[in-house]
């Protein structure tokens, strides 16, 4: 699993742990994620590339079980600070509207994705499963090379979502960079339907 995918997964987990009161969040008892799709969006010569990513089932149930596998590579070592620019758009009446950055959720610039990872998985702590089992790194620096996550089972727990992120079609683009250079770009699209 490449550095960008690792950051994406860890940031997603981190965001699910944020306090509900800050965002007028509500507890989602049940949600479905449908039509999950992804693509690289960087220039052909960017060093960090996601090669494969599969998730099942479709729809993905939250809470529920998820099976995922991935592979990617980076031709350069990825070290702090790694900037992460996230653009989140929601479809509203047939138009794509950029969701602003509200308390570090939405279309936000993160100065160092490595800091976000360290908040979630403090240095010195083992990497969470299944990364630990497969010897995959979970914090900076990430050495140049290829990474593979074999088909692995995950459990998606109940989560708290902001009221504006509970139903609809979404597009997310994440651009990873360092010292003014783009290292990788990934686009995701999905639909969320909750109770």
Residue 78's nearest CA partner among 139, 122, 129 is 139
Domain 3-194 matching CATH 2.40.30.20: the answer reads: no
pLDDT band, very low/low/confident/very high, at 26 (cuts 50, 70, 90): low
Of all residues in the chain, what percent carry a pLDDT higher than 90? 71
pLDDT of residue 11: 43
**Under 8 Å CB-to-CB from 132, ≥6 apart: which residues?**
126
**What's the chain's average pLDDT?**
86
Name which residue leads in pLDDT, 166 or 184. 184
Q: How many CB atoms lie within 10 A of CB 17?
A: 10
Going by pLDDT thresholds of 50, 70 and 90, the confidence category of residue 153 is very high
Count other Cβ atoms within 10 Å, centred on residue 148: 15
| pLDDT higher at 39 or 124 | 39
* pLDDT at position 104: 83
- Is this structure's pTM higher than 0.75? yes
The residue-averaged pLDDT of 20-39 equals 72
């Amino acid at each position: 699993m490449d550095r960008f995918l690792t950051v994406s997964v860890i940031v997603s987990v981190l965001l699910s742990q944020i306090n509900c009161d800050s965002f007028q969040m509500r507890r989602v008892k049940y949600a479905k994620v449908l039509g999950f799709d992804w693509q690289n969006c960087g220039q052909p010569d960017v060093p960090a590339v996601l090669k494969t990513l599969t998730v099942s089932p479709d729809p993905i149930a939250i809470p529920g079980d998820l099976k995922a596998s991935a592979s990617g590579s980076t031709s350069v070592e990825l070290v702090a600070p790694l900037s992460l620019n996230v653009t989140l758009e929601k479809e509203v009446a047939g138009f794509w509207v950029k969701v602003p950055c509200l308390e570090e959720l939405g279309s936000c610039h993160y100065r160092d994705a490595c800091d976000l990872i360290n908040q979630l998985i403090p240095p010195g702590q083992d990497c969470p499963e299944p990364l630990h089992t497969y010897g995959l790194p979970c914090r900076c620096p990430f050495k140049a090379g290829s990474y593979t996550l074999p088909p692995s089972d995950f459990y998606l727990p109940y989560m708290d979502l902001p009221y504006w992120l509970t139903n609809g079609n979404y597009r997310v683009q994440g651009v990873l960079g360092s010292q003014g250079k783009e290292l990788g770009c990934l686009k995701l699209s999905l639909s969320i339907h909750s109770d």
